[in-house]
Structure 1
Amino acid sequence: MNPTDDSLKYPIGRPQLPTAPLTADERTALIQQIADLPAQLTAAAKAVGGVGLERPYRPGGWNGRQVIHHVADSHMNAYVRFRLALTEDNPTIKPYEEAAWAELPDVAASPVTVSLTLLEAMHSRFVTLLHHLTDEQWQRTFYHPGNQRTSTLEQTLALYAWHGRHHLGHLQLLLP
Protein backbone atom coordinates (compact mmCIF):
# COMPACT_ATOMS: atom_id res chain seq x y z
CA MET A 1 0.00 0.00 0.00
CA ASN A 2 1.29 3.44 -0.89
CA PRO A 3 2.27 5.25 2.36
CA THR A 4 0.61 8.45 1.13
CA ASP A 5 -2.61 6.57 0.33
CA ASP A 6 -5.62 8.14 2.06
CA SER A 7 -6.62 4.63 3.16
CA LEU A 8 -3.84 4.68 5.76
CA LYS A 9 -4.86 8.06 7.12
CA TYR A 10 -8.60 7.40 6.78
CA PRO A 11 -9.01 3.60 6.93
CA ILE A 12 -12.82 3.84 7.05
CA GLY A 13 -13.06 6.95 4.87
CA ARG A 14 -13.67 10.55 5.85
CA PRO A 15 -16.57 11.46 8.16
CA GLN A 16 -19.99 12.07 6.64
CA LEU A 17 -22.02 14.34 8.92
CA PRO A 18 -25.80 14.41 8.68
CA THR A 19 -27.32 17.48 7.07
CA ALA A 20 -30.89 16.64 8.14
CA PRO A 21 -32.25 15.41 11.45
CA LEU A 22 -31.60 11.73 12.15
CA THR A 23 -34.28 9.20 12.94
CA ALA A 24 -34.41 7.69 16.40
CA ASP A 25 -33.14 4.41 14.93
CA GLU A 26 -30.19 6.16 13.27
CA ARG A 27 -29.27 7.84 16.56
CA THR A 28 -29.59 4.53 18.42
CA ALA A 29 -27.20 2.85 15.96
CA LEU A 30 -24.63 5.64 16.42
CA ILE A 31 -24.98 5.50 20.21
CA GLN A 32 -24.37 1.74 20.03
CA GLN A 33 -21.14 2.36 18.13
CA ILE A 34 -19.99 4.63 20.95
CA ALA A 35 -21.06 2.06 23.55
CA ASP A 36 -19.13 -0.71 21.77
CA LEU A 37 -15.92 1.25 21.27
CA PRO A 38 -14.12 0.65 24.61
CA ALA A 39 -14.37 -3.14 24.28
CA GLN A 40 -13.35 -2.99 20.61
CA LEU A 41 -10.30 -0.84 21.37
CA THR A 42 -9.34 -3.12 24.26
CA ALA A 43 -9.55 -6.20 22.02
CA ALA A 44 -7.55 -4.48 19.27
CA ALA A 45 -4.87 -3.34 21.75
CA LYS A 46 -4.52 -6.90 23.08
CA ALA A 47 -4.32 -8.31 19.54
CA VAL A 48 -1.66 -5.78 18.50
CA GLY A 49 0.36 -6.36 21.68
CA GLY A 50 2.64 -4.10 23.69
CA VAL A 51 5.51 -3.92 21.21
CA GLY A 52 3.09 -3.47 18.30
CA LEU A 53 1.50 -0.48 20.03
CA GLU A 54 4.84 1.32 19.85
CA ARG A 55 4.76 1.26 16.04
CA PRO A 56 3.11 4.03 14.01
CA TYR A 57 0.12 2.93 11.94
CA ARG A 58 1.46 4.92 8.96
CA PRO A 59 4.62 6.87 8.16
CA GLY A 60 4.41 10.13 10.10
CA GLY A 61 1.39 8.89 12.08
CA TRP A 62 0.94 8.26 15.75
CA ASN A 63 1.87 4.98 17.31
CA GLY A 64 -0.82 2.71 18.73
CA ARG A 65 -0.23 3.95 22.27
CA GLN A 66 -0.78 7.55 21.17
CA VAL A 67 -3.93 6.57 19.28
CA ILE A 68 -5.49 4.95 22.35
CA HIS A 69 -4.63 7.84 24.66
CA HIS A 70 -5.90 10.28 21.99
CA VAL A 71 -9.28 8.55 21.76
CA ALA A 72 -9.71 8.88 25.52
CA ASP A 73 -8.69 12.55 25.41
CA SER A 74 -10.92 13.31 22.44
CA HIS A 75 -13.99 11.53 23.74
CA MET A 76 -13.65 13.21 27.14
CA ASN A 77 -13.74 16.51 25.27
CA ALA A 78 -16.80 15.32 23.32
CA TYR A 79 -18.61 14.41 26.54
CA VAL A 80 -17.89 17.86 27.99
CA ARG A 81 -19.03 19.52 24.75
CA PHE A 82 -22.35 17.68 24.93
CA ARG A 83 -22.84 18.76 28.53
CA LEU A 84 -22.01 22.37 27.68
CA ALA A 85 -24.44 22.39 24.74
CA LEU A 86 -27.16 20.92 26.95
CA THR A 87 -26.74 23.53 29.68
CA GLU A 88 -25.79 26.69 27.74
CA ASP A 89 -27.12 28.36 24.60
CA ASN A 90 -24.75 27.66 21.70
CA PRO A 91 -21.57 27.78 23.82
CA THR A 92 -18.19 28.36 22.25
CA ILE A 93 -16.17 25.28 23.08
CA LYS A 94 -12.45 25.21 23.75
CA PRO A 95 -10.42 23.51 21.01
CA TYR A 96 -7.22 21.74 21.98
CA GLU A 97 -4.00 20.86 20.20
CA GLU A 98 -4.43 17.12 19.63
CA ALA A 99 -0.90 16.58 18.32
CA ALA A 100 0.60 18.39 21.31
CA TRP A 101 -1.54 16.37 23.72
CA ALA A 102 -0.25 13.15 22.08
CA GLU A 103 3.30 14.25 22.95
CA LEU A 104 2.68 15.00 26.64
CA PRO A 105 4.68 12.82 29.06
CA ASP A 106 1.68 10.94 30.45
CA VAL A 107 1.05 9.42 27.01
CA ALA A 108 4.45 7.72 26.96
CA ALA A 109 4.49 6.94 30.69
CA SER A 110 0.94 5.59 31.17
CA PRO A 111 -0.05 2.07 30.19
CA VAL A 112 -2.78 2.04 27.55
CA THR A 113 -4.94 0.16 30.05
CA VAL A 114 -5.34 3.42 31.97
CA SER A 115 -6.95 5.17 28.99
CA LEU A 116 -8.96 2.06 28.07
CA THR A 117 -10.38 1.93 31.61
CA LEU A 118 -11.04 5.67 31.54
CA LEU A 119 -12.78 5.35 28.17
CA GLU A 120 -14.95 2.48 29.42
CA ALA A 121 -16.10 4.42 32.49
CA MET A 122 -16.60 7.71 30.66
CA HIS A 123 -18.46 6.05 27.78
CA SER A 124 -20.79 4.44 30.30
CA ARG A 125 -21.84 7.90 31.50
CA PHE A 126 -21.78 9.33 27.95
CA VAL A 127 -24.03 6.58 26.56
CA THR A 128 -26.46 6.97 29.46
CA LEU A 129 -26.69 10.70 28.72
CA LEU A 130 -27.16 10.08 24.99
CA HIS A 131 -30.00 7.59 25.55
CA HIS A 132 -31.90 10.18 27.60
CA LEU A 133 -31.82 13.13 25.18
CA THR A 134 -35.06 14.43 23.69
CA ASP A 135 -35.53 15.20 19.99
CA GLU A 136 -35.21 18.89 20.84
CA GLN A 137 -31.98 18.36 22.77
CA TRP A 138 -30.39 16.59 19.81
CA GLN A 139 -30.76 19.85 17.88
CA ARG A 140 -28.88 21.92 20.48
CA THR A 141 -25.63 23.39 19.23
CA PHE A 142 -22.16 24.55 20.12
CA TYR A 143 -19.69 26.69 18.21
CA HIS A 144 -16.19 25.41 17.46
CA PRO A 145 -13.87 28.39 16.85
CA GLY A 146 -11.14 26.18 15.38
CA ASN A 147 -13.22 25.15 12.37
CA GLN A 148 -15.56 28.15 12.67
CA ARG A 149 -18.61 25.90 12.60
CA THR A 150 -21.74 25.47 14.65
CA SER A 151 -22.63 21.80 15.14
CA THR A 152 -25.75 20.10 16.42
CA LEU A 153 -25.44 17.35 18.98
CA GLU A 154 -26.70 14.92 16.31
CA GLN A 155 -23.85 15.90 14.01
CA THR A 156 -21.44 15.58 16.91
CA LEU A 157 -22.80 12.11 17.73
CA ALA A 158 -22.16 11.04 14.12
CA LEU A 159 -18.67 12.56 14.21
CA TYR A 160 -17.61 10.78 17.40
CA ALA A 161 -19.11 7.45 16.33
CA TRP A 162 -17.00 7.81 13.17
CA HIS A 163 -13.99 8.99 15.21
CA GLY A 164 -13.97 5.84 17.31
CA ARG A 165 -14.23 3.54 14.28
CA HIS A 166 -11.59 5.65 12.49
CA HIS A 167 -9.01 5.12 15.22
CA LEU A 168 -10.02 1.49 15.70
CA GLY A 169 -9.12 1.16 12.02
CA HIS A 170 -5.70 2.65 12.77
CA LEU A 171 -5.08 0.02 15.45
CA GLN A 172 -6.20 -2.72 13.07
CA LEU A 173 -3.52 -1.55 10.62
CA LEU A 174 -0.99 -2.56 13.31
CA LEU A 175 -2.23 -6.15 13.56
CA PRO A 176 0.45 -8.73 12.77
Structure 2
Amino acid sequence: MTPANGVDRAALVRAAQGKPASPAAPAAGAQRVPMGIRTIAGPGAETTATPTPAQPDRSVERLLSVAAASGSARTRHLAAKISGLLEELTGRVEAEEAQRREREAAEAQRQELAEAEAQLARQLAEVRQKLRTTGRDTTAQPPRSRREGAEQRAAIRAWALANGHEISARGRISGEIVQAWAAATGSEVTR
Protein backbone atom coordinates (compact mmCIF):
# COMPACT_ATOMS: atom_id res chain seq x y z
CA MET A 1 0.00 0.00 0.00
CA THR A 2 1.11 3.50 -0.67
CA PRO A 3 1.31 5.79 2.32
CA ALA A 4 -1.16 8.64 2.23
CA ASN A 5 -0.12 11.82 3.98
CA GLY A 6 2.99 10.11 5.40
CA VAL A 7 1.06 7.29 7.13
CA ASP A 8 1.44 3.65 6.11
CA ARG A 9 -2.07 2.16 6.24
CA ALA A 10 -0.82 -1.42 6.32
CA ALA A 11 1.26 -0.63 9.37
CA LEU A 12 -1.79 0.87 11.05
CA VAL A 13 -3.85 -2.24 10.28
CA ARG A 14 -1.10 -4.54 11.63
CA ALA A 15 -0.80 -2.41 14.76
CA ALA A 16 -4.57 -2.56 15.29
CA GLN A 17 -4.46 -6.33 14.97
CA GLY A 18 -1.61 -6.51 17.52
CA LYS A 19 0.92 -7.74 14.99
CA PRO A 20 4.42 -6.27 14.91
CA ALA A 21 5.32 -3.83 12.17
CA SER A 22 7.19 -5.29 9.21
CA PRO A 23 10.96 -4.87 9.50
CA ALA A 24 11.17 -3.04 6.19
CA ALA A 25 8.39 -0.60 7.06
CA PRO A 26 8.83 2.30 9.50
CA ALA A 27 7.11 2.08 12.89
CA ALA A 28 3.55 3.28 13.19
CA GLY A 29 3.36 7.04 13.47
CA ALA A 30 6.92 7.46 12.20
CA GLN A 31 7.41 10.02 9.52
CA ARG A 32 9.13 9.03 6.30
CA VAL A 33 12.19 11.10 5.45
CA PRO A 34 13.39 11.42 1.86
CA MET A 35 16.68 9.71 1.16
CA GLY A 36 19.83 11.77 1.88
CA ILE A 37 18.20 14.03 4.49
CA ARG A 38 19.19 13.59 8.10
CA THR A 39 16.94 14.56 10.91
CA ILE A 40 18.40 15.75 14.18
CA ALA A 41 16.43 15.95 17.38
CA GLY A 42 16.51 19.48 18.75
CA PRO A 43 16.84 20.54 22.36
CA GLY A 44 13.99 19.35 24.54
CA ALA A 45 13.06 16.56 22.12
CA GLU A 46 12.42 13.24 23.69
CA THR A 47 15.10 10.72 23.02
CA THR A 48 14.34 7.09 23.50
CA ALA A 49 17.33 5.02 24.42
CA THR A 50 17.30 1.69 22.71
CA PRO A 51 18.47 -1.02 25.05
CA THR A 52 21.67 -2.68 23.87
CA PRO A 53 21.72 -6.43 24.09
CA ALA A 54 24.19 -7.85 26.59
CA GLN A 55 27.51 -8.66 24.90
CA PRO A 56 28.74 -12.20 25.39
CA ASP A 57 32.12 -12.71 27.08
CA ARG A 58 34.60 -12.44 24.20
CA SER A 59 37.89 -12.42 26.06
CA VAL A 60 40.71 -14.31 24.39
CA GLU A 61 40.96 -16.85 27.19
CA ARG A 62 37.21 -17.55 27.09
CA LEU A 63 37.19 -17.91 23.29
CA LEU A 64 40.18 -20.26 23.37
CA SER A 65 38.62 -22.46 26.07
CA VAL A 66 35.34 -22.66 24.14
CA ALA A 67 37.19 -23.40 20.89
CA ALA A 68 39.38 -26.07 22.53
CA ALA A 69 36.22 -27.87 23.67
CA SER A 70 34.55 -27.53 20.27
CA GLY A 71 33.30 -30.54 18.38
CA SER A 72 34.96 -29.32 15.18
CA ALA A 73 38.52 -30.48 14.62
CA ARG A 74 39.25 -27.38 12.55
CA THR A 75 38.13 -25.10 15.41
CA ARG A 76 40.25 -27.06 17.93
CA HIS A 77 43.26 -26.86 15.58
CA LEU A 78 42.76 -23.12 15.14
CA ALA A 79 42.55 -22.69 18.94
CA ALA A 80 45.81 -24.62 19.39
CA LYS A 81 47.50 -22.52 16.71
CA ILE A 82 46.31 -19.28 18.29
CA SER A 83 47.46 -20.48 21.73
CA GLY A 84 50.94 -21.13 20.33
CA LEU A 85 51.01 -17.71 18.70
CA LEU A 86 49.91 -16.09 21.97
CA GLU A 87 52.72 -17.84 23.83
CA GLU A 88 55.24 -16.68 21.22
CA LEU A 89 53.86 -13.13 21.36
CA THR A 90 54.02 -13.15 25.17
CA GLY A 91 57.64 -14.30 25.06
CA ARG A 92 58.60 -11.61 22.57
CA VAL A 93 56.86 -8.86 24.50
CA GLU A 94 58.55 -9.96 27.73
CA ALA A 95 61.97 -10.07 26.00
CA GLU A 96 61.45 -6.59 24.54
CA GLU A 97 60.41 -5.31 27.96
CA ALA A 98 63.55 -6.81 29.54
CA GLN A 99 65.73 -5.20 26.85
CA ARG A 100 64.01 -1.86 27.41
CA ARG A 101 64.65 -2.10 31.17
CA GLU A 102 68.32 -2.97 30.51
CA ARG A 103 68.68 0.00 28.14
CA GLU A 104 67.11 2.32 30.70
CA ALA A 105 69.42 1.00 33.45
CA ALA A 106 72.48 1.42 31.21
CA GLU A 107 71.38 4.93 30.27
CA ALA A 108 70.89 5.82 33.95
CA GLN A 109 74.37 4.48 34.75
CA ARG A 110 75.87 6.46 31.83
CA GLN A 111 74.13 9.56 33.14
CA GLU A 112 75.54 9.02 36.64
CA LEU A 113 79.05 8.47 35.26
CA ALA A 114 78.79 11.59 33.10
CA GLU A 115 77.74 13.62 36.15
CA ALA A 116 80.63 12.16 38.19
CA GLU A 117 83.05 12.96 35.36
CA ALA A 118 81.78 16.53 35.18
CA GLN A 119 82.16 16.92 38.95
CA LEU A 120 85.72 15.56 38.85
CA ALA A 121 86.56 17.89 35.96
CA ARG A 122 85.29 20.85 38.01
CA GLN A 123 87.35 19.77 41.02
CA LEU A 124 90.46 19.32 38.85
CA ALA A 125 89.97 22.78 37.36
CA GLU A 126 89.68 24.25 40.88
CA VAL A 127 92.88 22.50 42.00
CA ARG A 128 94.75 23.69 38.92
CA GLN A 129 93.53 27.23 39.51
CA LYS A 130 94.72 27.11 43.13
CA LEU A 131 98.12 25.84 41.98
CA ARG A 132 98.39 28.71 39.49
CA THR A 133 97.50 31.32 42.08
CA THR A 134 99.83 29.99 44.80
CA GLY A 135 102.85 29.75 42.50
CA ARG A 136 105.72 27.30 42.79
CA ASP A 137 106.81 25.70 46.00
CA THR A 138 109.70 27.76 47.37
CA THR A 139 111.11 24.86 49.41
CA ALA A 140 111.91 22.91 46.24
CA GLN A 141 115.48 22.81 45.02
CA PRO A 142 116.49 25.82 42.99
CA PRO A 143 117.04 25.13 39.32
CA ARG A 144 120.60 24.17 38.49
CA SER A 145 122.52 25.70 35.69
CA ARG A 146 123.76 23.76 32.71
CA ARG A 147 127.28 24.28 33.94
CA GLU A 148 126.56 22.48 37.22
CA GLY A 149 125.03 19.54 35.31
CA ALA A 150 128.08 19.38 33.03
CA GLU A 151 130.42 19.46 36.02
CA GLN A 152 128.50 16.62 37.69
CA ARG A 153 128.59 14.47 34.53
CA ALA A 154 132.37 15.03 34.30
CA ALA A 155 132.77 13.97 37.94
CA ILE A 156 130.69 10.81 37.29
CA ARG A 157 132.85 9.93 34.24
CA ALA A 158 136.07 10.44 36.22
CA TRP A 159 134.80 8.30 39.11
CA ALA A 160 133.61 5.54 36.70
CA LEU A 161 137.02 5.38 34.93
CA ALA A 162 138.87 5.36 38.26
CA ASN A 163 136.68 2.50 39.57
CA GLY A 164 136.95 0.24 36.50
CA HIS A 165 133.60 0.95 34.80
CA GLU A 166 133.51 1.16 31.00
CA ILE A 167 132.21 4.56 29.97
CA SER A 168 132.57 6.65 26.82
CA ALA A 169 134.02 10.15 26.88
CA ARG A 170 130.80 11.56 25.38
CA GLY A 171 127.12 10.69 25.28
CA ARG A 172 124.67 9.30 27.75
CA ILE A 173 125.81 7.86 31.05
CA SER A 174 124.00 4.61 31.97
CA GLY A 175 121.67 4.64 34.96
CA GLU A 176 123.62 1.86 36.68
CA ILE A 177 126.82 3.94 36.70
CA VAL A 178 124.96 7.03 37.95
CA GLN A 179 123.41 5.03 40.80
CA ALA A 180 126.75 3.45 41.70
CA TRP A 181 128.38 6.91 41.77
CA ALA A 182 125.56 8.34 43.93
CA ALA A 183 125.82 5.40 46.36
CA ALA A 184 129.62 5.60 46.57
CA THR A 185 129.84 9.36 47.02
CA GLY A 186 126.54 10.03 48.84
CA SER A 187 125.70 12.73 46.31
CA GLU A 188 122.38 13.56 44.70
CA VAL A 189 121.93 13.11 41.00
CA THR A 190 120.85 16.25 39.16
CA ARG A 191 120.47 15.57 35.51
TM-score range, shorter chain: under 0.3
The structure whose RCO (Cα within 8 Å, separation 6+) is larger is: 1
Task: Name the one with the larger strand percent.
Answer: 1
Please give the TM-score of this superposition, normalised by the length of structure 1.
0.18
Please give the TM-score of this superposition, normalised by the length of structure 2.
0.17
